[in-house]
Structure 1
């Protein structure tokens, strides 16, 4: 679709990927409806978009509540007369072994990350099919293909998002609806405040595991999906794509390697306090209203390039072994 000035709804728009996407859409002249739980950070994102010339409506909403999501969609149509793009992006997470994450936190993550996307899809597709077109974009993660230890609920939810997109596309095929598209975006490790906001029951400090990419890189991928919808696209470097391919080819080898890497590089040995983070409530402190989480930079970019080269070499070795 040509962007022009479409009506775009973005959930989880107050920080990270959602905020970066909102800013990119503002630059393209989109009319925006931004949603998040935290009113102050959400209004901050709306102000930044307005400074770029966009017309913006900010709606405080918890995506796990179907009624609130329905109100969000209705508000978009009420304000702008239609709904062209819906970006399901709001998500929460927790670090810790499955046995250590409280059941109420585990369930809440699934409620936000899965049920929240289902609520968004229902509200968006009802209006898109009625008006004769639109694009639904579900932001998942490469951990939906290669789940991580200490992040079971989050990994499960992102795998479920991929399945949700497939089911929705299948239903649209059966309804002969070629005017509505469902796209899945799979970010790699992204520089956002996620690691500061997540619940933590591991006893160790979580950090972004290299290679780390900017949130704006994902935002650009989302915009490309708006213009030229694709079933599924990875947002990140070649290492992320190769990791997914390697997992399909040699799952056991990849899973063992990822387990060791997460234990060594994503969770530091430095002790960290137990916290429920933003799982049950919005956080007002720290970098809540920012796009980045401070995980990207010149040194980290250099490390990313080194790691990418190592991954490429490993992939080549696997290919040679399988061809021998």
Structure 2
């Protein structure tokens, strides 16, 4: 199985905005053939133009990830027009910001179908083409909220938890079969994406990611690194993700009480919500508007463009070797001093 750097054909879902758009740009710089799966013609056209400008080949395919027939048709088209799929990155999602009792059953189902079943459908379409070749990589873009849920995002958190359970089951099946197909997960921190301007929200104030906030390019680089090194079962991006997941393992009850006090306010700015704001739950917000939302959201001034934790994670083998070497050198010096 080749790495993302060697792969020729990649599929990115949720490719037109936010993290997905940043991932597309990262891959396009490698001259890859990239299939862009998303709703909304304006974003698809703009993302495809960026791929071509960077020297890659783009195949934009309007796709609702909640519809398996559309996902399967898109995968068949990719294989027929671009060639065998080497890399599939699942990133598409939607959400509702509201207390659970204010989310309608049909809305909860829609979030689950896009955010969870969209990954299941994408993974199945990818495996149907990778398993016969015994080669390929699937990257599931997750979240710290896959391990530690927060208030006001019950549908999204539930879907992200489900993705972890599904992926872990799949991984063991692939291992049992001795398959050459690899699957890995990348869990993200809060990211400055357009979703906070178009998510269906019933909050009184404008929704925001829980600080610290990172730029989408930070996580895009981590996702592509994971695609290059898929033997690691999962990656955690950002110190806040590491702290959240580890703390939830040790003091989940304390986090419950902390989030009950702070989780509502930390997800809202001081600005009142605009009652005319768009929502992408049922329909893409760029259609009919002619607006390309791109990768960044409204929080550029507060978002970090780098993460020391990501650098350390990517260079873990080198750091481990350095630590061993330093320890050996220290032991040699100590032994010499005792003589």
- TM-score (structure 1 length as normaliser): 0.88
CA distance 1:286–1:141, change in 2 (3 Å): farther
Distance 1:255 1:145 in 2: 13
CA distance 1:191–1:126, change in 2 (3 Å): same
CA shift digits 1:158-194 (9 cap, x unpaired): 11111111011011122221x1111111110001011
Q: Which residue of 1 aligns with 2:296?
A: 292
Q: Which residue of 1 aligns with 2:92?
A: 90
Q: Which residue of 2 aligns with 1:319?
A: none
Q: CA deviation at 1:5?
A: 4.4
Q: Which residue of 2 aligns with 1:310?
A: none
Q: Which residue of 1 aligns with 2:120?
A: 118
Distance 1:28 1:149 in 2: 39
The answer to whether the Cα contact below 8 Å between 2:97 and 2:201 also exists between their aligned partners in 1 is yes
Q: CA deviation at 1:131?
A: 1.6
Which of 222, 235, 238 pairs up with 2:237? 235
Distance 1:111 1:203 in 2: 26
Q: Which residue of 2 aligns with 1:23?
A: 25
Aligned positions, number: 301
Q: Which residue of 1 aligns with 2:223?
A: 222
Distance 2:167 2:12 in 1: 17
The answer to whether the Cα contact below 8 Å between 1:200 and 1:274 also exists between their aligned partners in 2 is no
CA shift digits 1:212-246 (9 cap, x unpaired): 0011111111111111112111122x232012101
The answer to whether the Cα contact below 8 Å between 1:4 and 1:29 also exists between their aligned partners in 2 is no
What secondary structure, in the 3-state scheme, does the structure 2 residue paired with 1:140 have? strand
Distance 1:254 1:84 in 2: 40
Q: Which residue of 2 aligns with 1:186?
A: 187
The answer to whether the Cα contact below 8 Å between 2:192 and 2:303 also exists between their aligned partners in 1 is no
Q: CA deviation at 1:255?
A: 2.2
Distance 2:122 2:27 in 1: 19
Answer with 267-276 or 54-63: which moved more: 267-276
Runs of 4+ in structure 1 deviating by more than 4 angstroms, as ranges, are: 285-288, 299-302
Gap runs ≥5 in structure 1: 306-324
Q: CA deviation at 1:287?
A: 6.5
Distance 2:112 2:278 in 1: 15
Q: Which residue of 1 aligns with 2:48?
A: 46
**Largest Rg, 1 or 2:** 2
CA shift digits 1:198-224 (9 cap, x unpaired): 111233321122100011111111111
CA distance 1:116–1:300, change in 2 (3 Å): closer
Distance 2:103 2:277 in 1: 10
CA shift digits 1:100-159 (9 cap, x unpaired): 112211110001011111110110011111122000111111111111101100010111
What secondary structure, in the 3-state scheme, does the structure 2 residue paired with 1:205 have? strand
Q: Which residue of 1 aligns with 2:211?
A: 210
The answer to whether the Cα contact below 8 Å between 1:42 and 1:289 also exists between their aligned partners in 2 is no
* Aligned 1:1-324 pairs, distance under 5 A: 1-2=2-3, 3-177=5-179, 179-229=180-230, 230-236=232-238, 238-268=239-269, 270-272=271-273, 273=275, 277-284=279-286, 285=289, 288-297=292-301, 299=302, 301=304
The answer to whether the Cα contact below 8 Å between 1:201 and 1:275 also exists between their aligned partners in 2 is no
Distance 1:161 1:291 in 2: 23
Cα RMSD after superposing both structures: 2.0
Distance 2:76 2:195 in 1: 29
Distance 1:65 1:301 in 2: 35
The answer to whether the Cα contact below 8 Å between 2:197 and 2:278 also exists between their aligned partners in 1 is no
Q: CA deviation at 1:62?
A: 0.4
Q: CA deviation at 1:288?
A: 4.7
- TM-score (structure 2 length as normaliser): 0.84
Distance 1:278 1:233 in 2: 28
